[in-house]
Amino acid sequence: MSLDKLFDSAPEGKMNAVRITQDHKISVIETTIPKISAGEVLVKPVCCGICGTDLHILRHGFVGTNYPVTPGHEFAGHVVAVGSEVRNVKEGDFVAVDPNVVCGTCRWCRSGRPNLCIHLSPIGVGRPGAAAEYVATPSQNAFKVNEAIGHGIAALIEPLACALHAVESSQGIKDRRVLVLGSGTMGLLIALTSKAFGAGSVTLSDPATAKQNIARQAGIEDARGPESLNGELFDVVFEAAGVPAALRQALQSIEKTGALVQVGVHDADAIASFNPFKLYEQEFRFIGSNSCADKFAAAVDLMADIHDKASLLIGESFPVWSFAEAVQSMEAAKSVKTQLRFS
């Protein structure tokens, strides 16, 4: 048997997929199963998370979105076919997928900042995502995971990688006072990562008492409403809510020489203001943290240590073809993480 035949085991024909059009409508369509190249793998998703990026794509538009688009970038599944040049995974492997498809050759990729690639085309944004029966990905983006941790937990590895990048972007949190504003998935994972990396204390602030309770269950004892911060100052502040009020509070909560890490995704045309004299006088740093950079492998390892706590974030799940209903549930904040199931 030729090598071409050996590796040419990909499913063929049609599949169903969720589609979002530029006029912000959701539908389920029949489309062709992706054809994989020599360096790609075909994954059959088993779980996919919905996050704020998906809401931006649906409601307002998001930079880099190639409409009509199949959403879904937080996912895990089984490899069902591999290209002829793939050696890192094989058919049947259970994988979590880094959605950031990059060129690998631009200055940002070569400097270890693939999230800033000038040719970045993320799965679920610039190319078809995982809200479908099958999704194609470059093999280097597929990371083998112990399936025993659970499908929902595996689908949380992508946001955990983003949290890891945010924590490392702060330029050091060991023994420092940390404040996280926003207790959605990103905020809670940043809080858990900060504790794992040796923060002196971690405070999580969110107006939703239900989310405060989940944070406490996950081991973040100091979880409270923003009104109770009372002018306290922190060495590192993570703005993970993506709303103007949280950013304003973050700017008021930084200790001298501290760091504010902007993680929350605001609207692309949002404008914020700050006091430049305070920045000068107090020598704090204002840092952006975008996506997961090169932290996916590290997130796979860290998830093995914190999966019990991370599991508390997972709330309602919906059949993938009920995408619109799942979005409504997420917008109603009925749980921290809303996920799509495929069985």
Q: Which residue has the tokens 């009925």?
A: 334
160 lies in a domain?
no
Average pLDDT score over residue span 44-49: 98
Burial track 130-148 (b if 16+ CB lie within 10 A, e otherwise) = bbbbbbbbbbbbbbebeee
Q: Are residues 7 and 149 in the same domain?
A: yes
Residue 9 has a pLDDT of 61
What's 315's domain CATH number? 3.90.180.10
Tell the burial category of 216 from Cβ atoms under 10 Å away from its Cβ (0-12, 13-18, 19+).
middle
Domain end call among 249, 273, 288: 288
Residue 59 has a pLDDT of 87
How do strand 94-97 and strand 26-32 relate by DSSP bridges?
unpaired
Average pLDDT score over residue span 218-240: 96
Q: How confident is the model at residue 1 (pLDDT cuts 50, 70, 90)?
A: very low
Give the span between the Cα atoms of 45 and 35, in whole angstroms.
Answer: 16
pLDDT tens figures, 179-202: 999 999 999 999 999 999 999 999
How do strand 40-50 and strand 254-262 relate by DSSP bridges?
unpaired
- 266 noted as active-site residue: no
Instruction: Indicate the pTM of the whole model.
Output: 0.94
What's 178's domain CATH number? 3.40.50.720
Q: 185-196 vs 157-169: helix axis angle to the nearest 10?
A: 60
Residue 6 has a pLDDT of 41
Q: How confident is the model at residue 343 (pLDDT cuts 50, 70, 90)?
A: confident
Of the residues 21, 31, 56, 307, only one is catalytic, namely 56
Q: What angle do CA 26, 32, 38 make, to 5 degrees?
A: 120
Residue 333 has pLDDT above 90, yes or no: no
Q: Which residue has the tokens 């917008």?
A: 331
Residue 72 has pLDDT above 80, yes or no: yes
Q: Are residues 86 and 139 in the same domain?
A: yes
Distance of CA 129 to the CA centre of its chain: 13
pLDDT tens figures, 108-153: 999 999 999 999 999 999 999 999 999 999 999 999 999 999 999 9
Domain end call among 249, 267, 288: 288
Q: Where are the alpha helices (DSSP H) in 170-286?
A: 185-196, 209-217, 244-251, 276-282
Mean pLDDT for the chain overall: 94
Residue 183 has a pLDDT of 94
Residue 52 has pLDDT above 80, yes or no: yes
Q: What is the dihedral of CA 224, 227, 230, 236, to 10 degrees?
A: 60
Of the residues 32, 53, 73, 338, only one is catalytic, namely 53
Q: Residue 22's closest CA among 64, 68, 85, 53?
A: 68
- 60 noted as active-site residue: no
Q: Are residues 145 and 276 in the same domain?
A: no
